């Protein structure tokens, strides 16, 4: 019952459900092709409706939580750990030149505040909190809290106060 309620009412959950369904059906062969096509259709619909663009083949561990939808963009090569919380206007993208080329890696229990940007070969450790409108241009160690543009580490209290823990 809770599953159906979430699937019907929560836009982030709807998108995540169809994203994971597309990933599963693509990996499991030709028999699942109709389910794959339906899931991609639903993902495209919700991508435009809710402004969430996380490709189905992105490596996202369990517990992804999208609290506020709109303007969320994730590169398909990014790696996202368990219980990651994304807010509106978050961008996780790649760069192919500059100071830190590559793809972002985000650890477990990360909180990315509204407007956070993680671009390039940046590694966020586990239990990291990224403040609103923060542009992360350095690696952040475990339990780091970063704010600002460019970002700076302000404490090592971590993200435990901010995380909506959906994967148990």
User: Would you list the domain boundaries of the chain?
Assistant: 1-57, 58-161
Q: Which residues contact 6 (CB under 8 A, 6 or more apart)?
A: 13
| 58-161: CATH number | 2.160.10.10
Residue of 93, 69, 83 lying closest to 158 (CA atoms): 83
Residue of 113, 115, 117, 107 lying closest to 129 (CA atoms): 113
Alpha carbon 89 to chain centroid, angstroms: 11
pLDDT in tens, the chain (168 residues): 777 777 777 888 899 999 999 999 999 988 999 999 999 999 999 999 999 999 999 999 999 999 888 999 999 999 999 999 999 999 999 999 888 899 999 999 999 999 999 999 999 999 999 999 999 999 999 999 999 998 999 999 988 888 876 665
């Amino acid at each position: 019952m809770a599953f159906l309620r979430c699937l019907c009412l929560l836009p982030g959950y709807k998108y995540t459900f169809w994203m994971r369904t597309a990933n599963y059906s693509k990996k499991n062969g030709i028999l699942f092709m109709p389910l794959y096509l339906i899931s991609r259709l639903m993902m495209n619909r919700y991508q435009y409706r809710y402004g969430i663009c996380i490709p189905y083949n992105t490596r996202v561990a369990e517990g992804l939580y999208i609290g506020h939808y709109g303007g969320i963009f994730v590169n398909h090569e990014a790696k996202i750990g368990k219980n990651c919380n994304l807010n509106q206007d978050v961008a996780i993208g790649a760069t192919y030149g500059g100071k830190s080329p590559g793809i972002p890696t985000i650890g477990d229990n990360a909180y990315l505040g509204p407007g956070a940007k993680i671009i390039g070969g940046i590694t966020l450790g586990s239990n990291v909190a990224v403040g609103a409108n923060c542009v992360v241009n350095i690696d952040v160690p475990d339990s780091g809290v970063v704010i600002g543009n460019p970002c700076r580490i302000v404490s090592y209290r971590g993200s435990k106060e901010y995380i909506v823990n959906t994967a148990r």
